[in-house]
Structure 1
Amino acid sequence: MAERLNKLLARAGVASRRGADALIAQKRVTVDGKVATLGAMVTPGVEEIQVDGERVRVADVPDRHFAFYKPRHVISTVSDPYDRPTVVDFIDSRVRLFPVGRLDGASEGLMLLTNDGDLANQLTHPRYEHEREYRVKISGTPLESVLQKWRDGFWLGEERTLPAAISVESSSGGSTWLRWVMREGKNRQIRRMVEAVNHEVHELIRIRMGPITLGALKAGEWRRLSAAELRALDEGRDEPLFESGDRYFDPAVQSAGSSKAKPRYKPGWARPKRRAKRGKRQ
């Protein structure tokens, strides 16, 4: 089955789709010995693709989809010029992964990582309007008029925010926990909306993206998306398949607790404490 050349190159880990288009425009990509053109359709396993004279194998590149709990102070990109930890440092994958639904460094919670550009576009493009759900801890106790302003949407700079579903979970000790459901994701939007009415965000945790929930994942852990979750995404559903916090039982689930899923540590990271060695069995 023919697929777009830039998608195949992205799946093979050569570059992102945009990067693949740049390679094609620079005439560095050939298909069966002929210089490729933008928008070209190619049948993997039948036509030979080369980049800079090197053959690209794409026929056996599987789709990979992961749910990941991004910790605070981890960067939501593939690489970082300052060598800070990024989300892809936590997942042992042989294919190039792209983060979906970025979170700023001070925020935490659910992100998806995939090598499927179509899925990434479906989850992030505004026209699909998938719900995103957050738990947000703010300073003080917001007035009902403030809550209603957030719910109705208002002008934030040159853009107007869309209506959102916002409820109070609890309020004590000079702070309030909110449940915040929205269908957009402008840069630092929740933080800016909160700051616009003289409150501050102390914690921000994303717990759901469309039908995918954080579940029982802890910071730094990940799992593969189940077949049911992928079907729900393909159908454009938003209803959560599992409530966040519930145990997620699936034989395919893996997490950072397994030996293959531990993040690669970088200079400046806190090393995990070594477990005490057990005595030999008698």
Structure 2
Amino acid sequence: MISKNPEPRETGPQRIAKLLARAGVASRRDVERMIAEGRIALKGAVLTTPATLLTDLAGVTVDGKAVRPPSAPRLFRYYKPQATLTAARDPKGRPTIYDRLPQDLPRLIPVGRLDFMTEGLLLLTNDGELKRQLELPSTGVTRHYRARAFGTVSQAALEDLAEGVTIEGMRYGSIDANLERRTGRNCWIQMSLTEGKNCEVRRVLEYLGLQVSRLIRTGYGPFDLRGLDPGGVDEVDRNQLAQFRNSLK
């Protein structure tokens, strides 16, 4: 049963980075960077430390614009197309997800990232604490991928990934990998993992001697791509979101 009571909120002073993340401005780390860049002010005075404690966001501005108080957590599914960057802007001028998303959406931040050429499911939220909850390895949310790769690999080699693997000093945890089908020297591989380190799937498959030509994230927890075409976006039912959050570790 889904509780009808609102999620309890912390009371008392909190760090400004946490409050701004909850309001969907950016992740805590990005808020700290924005403070260092002098982009955040309180009652006209530019803030110099992310250790600033506040009880609310009254008088706080970002790039000169007042910050709206946090609203109820919302979650959206987005089919990120290839050749788009999961970022607000790119110094190299490459297109970002915000160039492709509809303009009538609320301010949203991505849950995790997909690299430039990876396509598929990208979750977006207005709530920084929800973003953090979904990204933490300790919550155990499973990410699902399909990869098309050139080369030869055995099912036994893929099953060995369940024990984890260390590549150039980086330890990757257990991965459930299965050979879906093979056509000539190309194959499709299904992979599920809970860590989501940077470029993890590509690096692990390259370690096995494969050259990835297409990578699709097909699912994140209980959410998948069903009903979405590349570039498509829709909102997750709020009852479904509440039920999912209650199920997390």
> TM class by shorter-chain length?
0.7 to 0.9
Query: Matched residues in 2 for 1:154 and 1:113: separation?
Result: 30
Q: Taking structure 1 as reference, are residues 100 and 52 closer, same or farther at Cα in structure 2, changes over 3 Å only?
A: closer
Query: Matched residues in 2 for 1:20 and 1:144: separation?
Result: 44
Q: Taking structure 1 as reference, are residues 53 and 84 closer, same or farther at Cα in structure 2, changes over 3 Å only?
A: closer
Q: SS where residue 235 of structure 1 aligns?
A: helix
Q: Taking structure 1 as reference, are residues 232 and 87 closer, same or farther at Cα in structure 2, changes over 3 Å only?
A: farther
Letter of the aligned partner of 1:30 in structure 2?
L
Matches within 5 A, 1:21-170: 21=32, 29-30=41-42, 38=51, 40-43=53-56, 48-51=58-61, 56-59=66-69, 61=71, 63-89=73-99, 90-93=101-104, 95-170=106-181
The offset of 1:158, in angstroms, is 0.9
Q: Taking structure 1 as reference, are residues 55 and 198 closer, same or farther at Cα in structure 2, changes over 3 Å only?
A: closer
Query: Matched residues in 2 for 1:136 and 1:73: separation?
Result: 16
The offset of 1:150, in angstroms, is 2.4
Point out where structure 2 has 5 or more consecutive residues left out of the alignment: 1-8
The TM-score, its normalising length taken from structure 1, stands at 0.70
The offset of 1:14, in angstroms, is 5.7
Point out where structure 1 has 5 or more consecutive residues left out of the alignment: 239-282
Query: Matched residues in 2 for 1:52 and 1:189: separation?
Result: 33
Counterpart of 1:210? 221
Q: Deviations over 1:88-124 (max 9, x none)?
A: 2213246432111211112110001122111110111
* Paired residues of 1:138 and 1:175 also in contact (CA < 8 A): yes
Q: SS where residue 75 of structure 1 aligns?
A: coil
Q: SS where residue 82 of structure 1 aligns?
A: coil
RMSD (Å), alpha carbons: 3.2
Query: Matched residues in 2 for 1:219 and 1:147: separation?
Result: 29
The answer to whether structure 1 residue 186 and structure 2 residue 197 are counterparts is yes
- Number of aligned positions between the proteins: 234
- Larger displacement relative to structure 2 (162-171 or 216-225): 162-171
* Paired residues of 2:164 and 2:174 also in contact (CA < 8 A): yes
The TM-score, its normalising length taken from structure 2, stands at 0.78
The offset of 1:18, in angstroms, is 3.8
The offset of 1:11, in angstroms, is 5.5
Query: Matched residues in 2 for 1:170 and 1:53: separation?
Result: 51
Counterpart of 2:5? none
Q: Deviations over 1:142-168 (max 9, x none)?
A: 123321222322111112221121122
- Larger displacement relative to structure 2 (202-211 or 148-157): 148-157
Q: Taking structure 1 as reference, are residues 21 and 162 closer, same or farther at Cα in structure 2, changes over 3 Å only?
A: closer
